[in-house]
């Protein structure tokens, strides 16, 4: 009985085990069939769709930044170049797992203010945020070695200006995205920036680029700009102007150097300046290129044009003399000279800078004729140099002139011009009556010349201007050893809200050399010198002398005078 019961239990256990085994086997077979079916579905029916989705997640197109064009001076020296850098950014969604130590380490390495990264992590939807822009490749490699999840890198270019503040106002600068913001960088951004390319890359699961697949479009580098500027003269002018501002306790100053033969701008400097490589805490007004954008009344520097206009129009005779007895009444107004010069010929008028004599000349000329001479010289119109926001200056229409207006225009009040406009007007005297256009780009000759004065008149007036540099002239400090100089001073009261301000002046000197066959024209304007001297012949003329002397030697212009030339003493060996 007991045996039979035991036998039955064994049979029941065997049956139960066999059923369980068949159930497990069925489950395994079902799973295998399901996997095979799924594999067939994925690899046959859904292959194209899944492959496309996979590519979307692991293959992507990225932009390849274009190299920004170089800005060079006339001799090929770089004034603005681009260097490769990298920017560091994070995906806050992925970066939230970073430890407090990792965040502090990242902030320290990239000089990021403490707490900045924490602030970026507060936005739960944000997937992109810059941590640092334009870091050096070496520093970027150090950050990469941390292998932090959610930290990414982007290749960019950073603009570098080798001359620093020397050409800062002229060249300008770019922003963090390499777009021109000021100066020529802004004006010619469309040429300099180039065209970005693109390439296809493979990313890993952390979205890091692990391989390049193909180049889709090659980046096109920006154009190179070859300027008319001579970096050597630019530096010389910058140095001397900075010293003059310091010595004279001036508010600001500008200096322009033109090639008298073709109108090329060889130098254009401003003080105060700034360093475009480090622009932190700088005020916007420091960026302004005063040589192109700021205007002032040119004062007595326009008197040679009045004499030339009167001669060409036959309103004065070459040998005529003028009585300047200290004052000249024009209606209820009075024109005065600094001193009573008595009787002056035309040369004396320029040499002594007589307001009375040029007023008398101006009043002989019909207003339209007088206005037309000034207008043709470029007053009241921008020079079209290509520099952004260039000033037009001001020239009142002759229809509204009164006699006193016409007289004051003869000694440089009632009109305004930039330093560049004034320098350009002097080409009409330097190149024997031919006015030149101006250019910031290197060129062999000027395609836009026009005659303003006869050659005979221009040469005659230029000879008169040489006497200004004589010992008893108004600008003896403008002399240049070995070279003849022709120029004119200007000491101009500054206008304020209620009229002209006492003891506030523009000190101006405009001149050319060698006077016998001018090669260079230089205009110096110093704003509000306050160290005691303010006359153009004392404040600005010495700057002219130093810059002109150096520039002529840089360009290897032959001296035209033997006086004051250094003597070489030859001794026995």
Secondary structure of residue 501 in the 3-state scheme: strand
Task: Assign 3-class secondary structure to 412-452.
Answer: CCCEEECHHHHHHHCHHHHCCCEECCCECECCCCCCCCEEC
Say if residues 419 and 525 touch (Cβ distance below 8 Å): yes
Beta strand segments in 119-242, E: 129-135, 151-160, 173-174, 180-182, 197-203, 209-217, 225-226
Q: Are 152 and 208 in contact (CB under 8 A)?
A: yes
Q: Does 514 sit behind a cis peptide bond, omega within 30 degrees of 0 on the bond before it?
A: yes
| 268 C-beta neighbours (distance < 10 Å), count | 29
What residues have CB less than 8 Å from 404, skipping those under 6 apart? 330, 331, 333
Here the tokens at position 496 are 């304020």
Beta carbons of 427 and 260 less than 8 angstroms apart: yes
Q: CA-to-CA distance for 422 and 256, rounded, in angstroms?
A: 9
Catalytic residue chosen out of the listed positions 228, 273, 300, 540: 300
> Which two tokens mark 207?
């979205």
Structure tokens at 435: 């006015």
Side by side, the strands of the sheet bearing 209-217 are 59-64, 197-203, 209-217
In 3D space, the residue among 461, 374, 455, 453 whose CA is nearest the CA of residue 415 turns out to be 374
Q: 363 vs 21, 391, 455, 571, CA distance in Å?
A: 126, 29, 24, 63
Among candidates 316, 326, 425, which has minimal Cα distance to 374?
Answer: 425
For the packed helices 355-364 and 403-410, what is the interaxial angle rounded to 10 degrees? Answer: 130
Q: Say whether 400 is catalytic.
A: no
Q: How far is it, in rounded angstroms, from Cα 247 to Cα 14?
A: 115
Pull the structure tokens for residue 103.
């965040």
Burial class (CB in 10 A: 0-12, 13-18, 19+), 516: middle
3-state SS assignment for residue 198: strand
CB atoms under 10 Å from CB of 170, counted, come to: 26
DSSP per-residue codes, 79-105: EEEEEEEEEEEE-HHHHTT--HHHHHH
62, containing H or E segment? strand 59-64
Question: Which pair of structure tokens corresponds to residue 243?
Answer: 């010293």
Cα angle: 334, vertex 337, 341; to 5 degrees:
125
d(CA 230, CA 549): 15
The set of catalytic residues is 300
């Amino acid at each position: 009985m007991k045996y039979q019961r035991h036998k039955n239990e064994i049979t029941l256990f065997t049956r139960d085990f066999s059923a369980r085994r068949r159930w497990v086997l069925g489950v395994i077979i079902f799973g295998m069939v399901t996997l095979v079916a799924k594999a067939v579905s994925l690899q046959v029916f859904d292959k194209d769709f899944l492959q496309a989705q996979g590519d979307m997640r692991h293959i992507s197109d990225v932009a390849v930044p274009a190299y920004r064009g170089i800005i060079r001076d006339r001799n090929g020296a770089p004034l603005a170049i681009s260097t490769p850098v990298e920017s560091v950014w994070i995906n806050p969604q992925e970066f939230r797992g970073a430890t407090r130590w990792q965040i502090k380490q990242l902030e320290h390495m990239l000089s990021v203010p403490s707490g900045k990264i924490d602030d970026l992590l507060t936005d739960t939807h944000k997937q992109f945020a810059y941590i640092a822009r334009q870091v050096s490749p070496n520093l970027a490699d150090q950050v990469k070695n941390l292998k932090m999840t959610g930290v990414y890198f982007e290749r960019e270019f950073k603009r570098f200006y080798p001359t620093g503040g020397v050409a800062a106002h002229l060249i300008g600068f770019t922003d963090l995205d390499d777009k021109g913001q000021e100066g020529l960088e802004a004006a010619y951004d469309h040429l300099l920036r180039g065209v970005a390319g693109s390439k296809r890359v493979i990313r890993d699961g952390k979205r890091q680029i692990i391989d390049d697949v193909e180049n889709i479009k090659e980046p096109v580098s920006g154009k190179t700009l070859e300027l008319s500027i001579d970096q050597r003269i630019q530096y010389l002018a910058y140095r001397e102007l900075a010293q003059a501002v310091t010595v004279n306790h001036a508010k600001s100053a500008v200096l322009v150097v033109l090639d008298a033969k073709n109108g090329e701008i060889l130098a254009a400097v401003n003080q105060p300046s700034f360093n475009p490589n480090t622009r932190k805490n700088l005020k916007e007004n420091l960026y302004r290129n005063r040589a192109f954008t700021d205007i002032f009344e040119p004062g007595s520097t326009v008197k040679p044009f009045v004499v030339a206009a009167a001669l060409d129009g036959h309103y004065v005779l070459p040998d005529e003399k003028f009585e300047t007895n200290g004052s000249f009444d024009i209606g209820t107004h009075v024109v005065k000279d600094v001193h009573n010069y008595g009787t002056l010929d035309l040369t004396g008028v320029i040499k002594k800078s007589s307001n009375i004599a040029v007023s008398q000349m101006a009043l002989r000329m019909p207003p339209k004729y007088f206005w037309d001479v000034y207008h043709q010289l470029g007053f009241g119109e921008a020079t079209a140099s290509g520099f952004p926001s260039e000033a037009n200056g001001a020239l009142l229409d002759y229809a509204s002139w009164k006699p006193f207006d016409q007289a004051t225009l003869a000694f440089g009040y009632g009109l305004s011009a930039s330093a560049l406009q004034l320098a350009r007007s002097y080409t009409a005297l330097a190149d024997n009556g031919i006015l030149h256009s101006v250019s910031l780009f290197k060129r062999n000759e000027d395609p836009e010349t026009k005659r303003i004065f006869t050659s005979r008149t221009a040469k005659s007036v230029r000879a008169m201007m040489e006497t200004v540099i004589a010992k008893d002239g108004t600008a003896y400090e403008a002399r240049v050893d070995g070279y003849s100089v022709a120029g004119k001073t200007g000491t101009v009261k500054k206008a304020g809200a209620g009229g002209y301000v006492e003891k506030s002046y523009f000190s101006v000197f405009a001149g050319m050399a060698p006077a016998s066959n001018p090669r260079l024209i230089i205009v110096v304007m110093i704003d509000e010198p306050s160290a005691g001297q303010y006359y153009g012949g004392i404040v600005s003329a010495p700057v002219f002398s130093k810059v002109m002397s150096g520039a002529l030697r840089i360009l290897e212009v032959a001296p035209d005078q033997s006086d004051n030339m250094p003597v070489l003493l030859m001794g026995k060996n």
